[in-house]
Amino acid sequence: MTFEQILEMDDDEDDREFSRSIVFGFFEQAENTFKSMDASLANEDLDTLSSLGHFLKGSSATLGLTKVKDSCEKIQHYGAHKDDTGNTAVADSTLCLERIKATMTALKRDYGEAESILKRFYHDAPA
C-alpha cells in the first residue's frame, strides 16, 4: 500500500479522517521508536537497533517517506554488523555504533522535514 492508496480510502477529502489517523499514528510511532533507538544507542545494543530500524522502515515506506525508510534500513544493517547495503559484514561494533549515530542524525532531520510537510498537508501547522 502507498500513501496515494491510503488517501483514496478517505471518505471525505476535506477532513481526510482515515489517512490523517494513519499519518498521525506514524508520528507517534516514530517518536517512540526514536526514544527507544536513543536508549539502545546509549546501551550499545546493536541487535535492538537493527530491529527498531526494521520496524520503522516498513511504516515509513508505506507513507512514501523514502529518505526516512533508507536511513532506517541503514540502521537495520549496521545493527546487524553489516555495511549500509547489508551485503558486507562489519566486525567492529564501535564502527557500527558510530555509523548508527550519524545515520540517526540524518534520520531525525529527514523525519522532521516529512512531518512538517505532512502536517501542512493536513492543515495542522502553519504554512
Q: What is the tens place of the pLDDT at every residue in 39-88?
A: 999 999 999 999 999 999 999 999 999 999 999 999 999 999 999 999 99
Rounded Cα distance, 21 and 69, in Å: 20
Question: Are 80 and 86 spatial neighbours (Cβ–Cβ below 8 Å)?
Answer: yes
**What is the Cα–Cα distance from 79 to 73, expressed in whole angstroms?**
10
| pLDDT band per the 50, 70, 90 thresholds, residue 106 | very high
Nearest 5°: phi and psi at 82?
-130, 170
DSSP string, 84-127: TTS-SB---HHHHHHHHHHHHHHHHHHHHHHHHHHHHHTT-S--
Could you tell me the pTM of the whole model?
Answer: 0.92
